[in-house]
Amino acid sequence: MSFYDTLHKKNIIAKPGFNRWLVPPASIAIHLCIGSVYAWSMFNPALVKILGVVTSSGDDWSLGQVVWIFSVAIVCLGLAAAYAGKWLEEVGPRMVGFVSACCWGGGFLIGALGIYLQELGVQISLSLPMFSSEPIVLQLGLYLLYLGYGVIGGIGLGLGYVSPVSTLIRWFPDRRGMATGMAIMGFGGGAMIAKLSIDKLLEKFYKAPEYLGEANSLELITEAGRRFVEISGTLTEVVVVTANDIAKMIVPSDPGVYIVGTGSSGASETFLFLGIVYFIVMTIAAFSYRVPAENWKPEGWTPPKDATKSMITQNHVHIDQALKTPQFYFLWIVLCFNVTAGIGVIGVAKTMMIEIFTPSLPSIVTASFAGTYVLMISVFNMIGRIFWASMSDYIGRKTTYFIFFTLGIILYLSIPFSAKAVSIDPTVTYLLMFYGASMIIFTMYGGGFATIPAYLADIFGTRYVGGIHGRLLTAWATAGVLGPVAITQLRQNSLESAIFDLANKISPEKFMEIYGDSVDNLANLVKQKTVTISNLMQHMPEGTVNPSATLYNTTMFAMAGLLAVAWISNWLIGPVDKKHHMKN
């Protein structure tokens, strides 16, 4: 038997008496690995400081650049799932799971190479006279990170995500919601494990850059928006760490001046280690898959005859025919907007917590606290997947989504209130309000993912639910763009406005003294990360409110609006017309 045959569906049919409870652990293991994508924000602080290490330097990647890697991964997840759903029905979950292991683990290894090249300062310069008189500089490392983690890793995400769904629904026709909840629970829990490992690995491989001393003890030179110190007759680029920057550091150090390119954020080594571990675990799990024989049913179970209340059909709809029904597109909107509302926040969770609450509660909301916040997102995401999916077996899928959207609108609107209130009155009460609201939101975010396969099986039948689910995950791919675009673009607009407002409160002479450049060149100084809200607040009059807390307010209002549209779409869903049912 060839290796291909070993992986094929026809050779992994379970024998009579096989214990179906042996299948969920393999599904959960794969989802725990690929679910680490939800911990992407844990990499952000390191990826935006590859060269500066203690804080961002002029040549470091921006948050906007690295957030898009997460978006590309989610887009590729949806596109791969749309194809893999049908392929899964042909070749089975073992083959799909093994290819997923190769792509997800291999994507991390390529990403590690990209980060390493950035540490070395490797760039490609292209001369294109027809477009520009200046050479175009391409950051090879960033492109490799996009290719590895974003594209190849994203394909691995999509393959790994769909591999257990239809399999578990067939093994557990009596508990569809619980089955899909188990399968997808691991995806929510993956970030929990990843958070713990990423933090520890980054700290283990971290190397502080060379320290020159306090800023007021050195003669700093500003050129093209960057800071330099003359060492042995040579201008050496440096970064300046203020007291406000310490909470954002990977490993806290003293304020002062550090030489760019002399340390290590530990990101490349972390990517390398995780890629190897994920490949091994996912391969073992993929080889543990089994599929039930044709027409297999749990002992003593008979399909319900009257389930009109929850719209559970006893008929089947073909994959291609499902795309011709309005129900598919209503469900697409339901999933897309529910995911959009949560995915943008997940991508910047650690950064958002620090920006909103560190200025007002610096002794409580440290980098470690924000990291724990990401961990708790994963915990509640995972709990929501099994809780809401299991609950939907009793209250129905449609009712479950009505709860998601009604409660979600209220909670998203409460976040700007908490953010604004804490900037005026820095008490822990508002932090607790924000924390509680966001945790409930993420239970429903995870519950939406876990419940949607059962919703599809109810409406379209179980025969092709894997393929239909794969097609529906294009909604996730779309949300992977909409969510980060909304949160980064709206945040960037608010950030630039806040910085310009603060800068106008400093006299031009004082600004020149602090930054070594004219306030007229503010846009370039902001672009080079020389001027930030953190270091501007060092020079503001007493009583000035730090605007960091309100950077995400507009985004939250937009997310609440999307959930309102999803509520209407869910209300419009009903049984599929008989003309779409398969004849046999």
Return per-residue pLDDT of the chain as tens, 584 residues.
678 778 887 888 888 888 888 888 888 899 889 988 878 878 888 898 898 888 888 888 887 788 788 888 988 988 888 887 778 878 888 999 999 999 999 999 999 999 999 888 776 655 555 555 555 556 788 999 999 999 999 999 989 988 887 788 888 877 777 877 777 777 777 877 887 788 889 989 998 888 888 888 888 888 878 888 888 888 888 888 887 777 677 777 888 888 888 888 899 999 999 999 999 999 999 998 988 887 788 877 776 664 444 467 778 888 889 989 999 999 999 999 998 888 767 666 777 788 788 777 888 887 778 778 877 887 888 888 889 988 888 888 899 999 999 999 999 999 888 888 888 888 888 889 988 988 999 899 888 888 898 899 889 987 788 788 888 988 887 887 787 777 778 778 888 888 888 888 888 888 888 888 888 888 888 877 788 887 888 888 877 877 877 888 888 888 899 999 999 999 999 888 888 888 76
Strands 136-138 and 234-241 come out as unpaired
Query: 326-347 and 397-424 are packed helices; what angle lies between their axes, rounded to 10 degrees?
Result: 30
Query: What was the pLDDT predicted at 410?
Result: 94
Distance from C-alpha of 281 to C-alpha of 286, rounded to nearest angstrom: 9
* Structural element, H or E, at residue 287: none
Query: What was the pLDDT predicted at 305?
Result: 61
Distance from C-alpha of 583 to C-alpha of 120, rounded to nearest angstrom: 63
Query: What was the pLDDT predicted at 162?
Result: 84
Closest CA to 373 of 355, 345, 341, 349: 349
Residue extents of the structural domains in the chain:
3-209+260-294+312-505+544-580
Query: What was the pLDDT predicted at 281?
Result: 95
Query: What was the pLDDT predicted at 138?
Result: 62
The 3-state DSSP class for residue 257 equals strand
Handedness of CA 43, 44, 50, 52 (dihedral sign): negative
Distance from C-alpha of 156 to C-alpha of 150, rounded to nearest angstrom: 10
CATH number for the region 3-209+260-294+312-505+544-580 comes to: 1.20.1250.20
Q: Is residue 514 within 8 Å of 504, Cβ to Cβ?
A: no
Query: What was the pLDDT predicted at 545?
Result: 77
Query: What was the pLDDT predicted at 127?
Result: 54
Query: What was the pLDDT predicted at 10?
Result: 84
- The beta strands (E) that lie in 311-426 are given as none
Terminal Cα-to-Cα distance of the chain (whole angstroms): 34
